[in-house]
A and B are shown apart, each in its own frame.
Chain A
Amino acid sequence: EIVLTQSPATLSLSPGDRATLSCRASQSVSSYLAWYQQKPGQAPRLLIYDASNRATGIPARFSGSGSGTDFTLTVSSLEPEDFAVYYCQQRIKWPLTFGGGTKVEIK
């Protein structure tokens, strides 16, 4: 199975900071990578699909980049509601897999 490794595990930042999250795949997933945000007690929410496409209603401060094995989710300026856990997920090969998550916490 394709293993997705997210780093760092925890990111301690302040509102207004830029957040850069990484997701590395054990083999190429082309551009078939998505990013999700999850807040405590809530279901995940799709942010980015196919590496760089923002989902409906997602603010422009969220952007995704990368292809092959290395991907990045960037939040240009953190809002208070952006502190959450972020997961990447690949859809190129069964079984579908998620990364272990990056928690973005308030510094």
Chain B
Amino acid sequence: QVQLVESGGGVVQPGGSLRLSCAASGFTFSSHGMHWVRQAPGKGLEWVAFIRYDGSDKYYGDSVKGRFTISRDNPKNTLYLQMNSLRAEDTAVYYCAKELKQMSSSTSSFDYWGQGALVTVSS
């Protein structure tokens, strides 16, 4: 069965950095685009970043552009999110999510989600 397991969350000071990982199993990771979506405490969902199945395209939300970098290692079935220059408003649960369609030239809905990693930015 499909599994997505995030790791790397924790407490970091403002201006600091953190790298999240998402270990994928149960599907052909190299055939699916992947996303990061976050949710601040008590708030709604905010899309963060996307990477195409082969890593050829990346897109970011406006609030993280220039500070966060999404990447993937297909042989290791792992997705990453490098977060730099962290701010208090980046405090959230970060979910990795798999795209429904394989090898899509566009993007598709998110059919599986991890359980999330909590990132707290605080001094």
Q: Is B50 an interface residue (CB 8 A)?
A: yes
Contact A97 B109 (CB under 8 A): no
Given A94-B59, A95-B59; A89-B46 close (CB under 8 Å): no
Chain B, interface residues (CB within 8 Å), range: 20 to 34
Contact B60 A95 (CB under 8 A): yes
Q: Is B44 an interface residue (CB 8 A)?
A: yes
CA distance A95 to B37 in the complex (A): 12
Q: Is B102 an interface residue (CB 8 A)?
A: no
Contact B60 A43 (CB under 8 A): no
CA distance A65 to B8 in the complex (A): 39
Contact B109 A34 (CB under 8 A): yes
Contact A97 B47 (CB under 8 A): yes
Contact A91 B113 (CB under 8 A): no
Can you list, as one digit per residue, whether each of B40-77 has a CB less than 8 Å from chain A (1) or not (0)? 00001111001000000001111000000000000000
14 residue pairs A–B, Cβ–Cβ below 8 Å: A34-B109, A43-B116, A44-B110, A46-B100, A55-B100, A95-B62, A96-B35, A96-B47, A96-B59, A96-B107, A97-B47, A98-B45, A99-B44, A101-B44
Task: Give the interface of B toward A (CB within 8 A).
Answer: 35, 37, 44-47, 50, 59-62, 95, 100, 106-111, 113-116
